[in-house]
Amino acid sequence: MAKNKPQACMATVLSNDAVMPNVFQLRLQCPEIAHSGEPGQFVMIKCGDNLLRRPISISDANGPSEQFSLLIAKVGKGTDWLSSVRPGDELDIIGALGNGFTIDDRTERLLLIGGGMGIAPLNFLASRATGLGKKVTLMLGARTGELLCPSSHLPQVNECVFCTEDASVGIKGRVTDCPDAYIETAEQIFACGPLPMYRALAKDHRFGGKPMQISLEVRMACGIGLCYGCTIKTKNGQKQVCEDGPVFEMDDILWDELADL
């Protein structure tokens, strides 16, 4: 999905709710983002006195209500500051940014694979796909059941499969240990998660020949293609994650030359 022209805007906080340990969901009022945001895109948020903005994936957007949501993990000063905002506060935001996921019109069955916070953009994608009448299987993995996004914050899909490394919920193992049946029936695969998950998927011959789009999570300084700090190597030359991504075709990335992000 091609990106729209980004805009600078002020978003009003409607709610800030805890979802799971060190993860919270912000619901924001902002017509610019709500109308333009697409699954896979992100916003850059000014977080208090921090010099650099923080890139956050859009987890839901609704044009008619002029609202959108962000699912955020507390991992540093910026996101810690965001976790403390309250209803009525205003956030300085630039967005929607980047290129998002593309659903082929001919596709009927989608498999979405999420590891950890990868659920954020996949949530938006799943909602969009089901709205288009597609059959969606959502597979989510985490170390323990406590770290899985609760069902109350998940989209309505045809099937949701959980994987935990400690076997506390669902299938024992990692989300990359996806049962063959789900891979075989999928016409398109979409994934979002940490780099080790992508490396495992790229090496798994079972996914060979299946079109797969992945969303890279990287450190960004500007988010708009000016600083080149998020440049990666692909089969089609150097690309900027913020400008050319964050969504890429799995087979296009030179994984052996990609440093830990």
Q: Say yes or no: 183 and 116 in one domain.
A: yes
| Predicted pLDDT at 18 | 93
Q: How far is CA 92 from CA 40, 186, 205, 227, 236, in A?
A: 20, 39, 44, 20, 35
Q: Confirm whether residue 223 is marked as ligand binding.
A: no
134-188 pLDDT per residue, tens? 999 999 999 998 888 888 888 889 999 999 989 898 889 898 888 889 999 999 9
Q: Confirm whether residue 222 is marked as ligand binding.
A: yes
User: What's the domain count of the chain?
Assistant: 2
Q: Confirm whether residue 55 is marked as ligand binding.
A: yes
| Predicted pLDDT at 257 | 74
| Predicted pLDDT at 2 | 47
Q: Confirm whether residue 230 is marked as ligand binding.
A: yes
Q: Say yes or no: 113 and 210 in one domain.
A: yes
Q: Confirm whether residue 54 is marked as ligand binding.
A: yes
Answer whether residue 250 is part of any domain.
no
| Predicted pLDDT at 137 | 96
The CATH number of whichever domain residue 82 belongs to comes to 2.40.30.10
| Predicted pLDDT at 100 | 94
The CATH number of whichever domain residue 210 belongs to comes to 3.40.50.80
CA–CA separation, 178 vs 186, rounded Å? 12
Q: Say yes or no: 93 and 115 in one domain.
A: no
Q: Which residues of the chain have a pLDDT value below 50? A: 1-2
Q: Confirm whether residue 47 is marked as ligand binding.
A: no
Closest CA to 83 of 91, 118, 104: 91
Q: Is 214 helix (H, G, I), strand (E, B) or coil?
A: strand
Q: Say yes or no: 148 and 198 in one domain.
A: yes
Q: Confirm whether residue 100 is marked as ligand binding.
A: no
Q: Confirm whether residue 33 is marked as ligand binding.
A: no
| Predicted pLDDT at 240 | 87
Q: Say yes or no: 92 and 116 in one domain.
A: no
Q: Say yes or no: 76 and 123 in one domain.
A: no
pTM above 0.75, yes or no: yes
Q: Confirm whether residue 78 is marked as ligand binding.
A: yes
CA–CA separation, 87 vs 13, rounded Å? 5
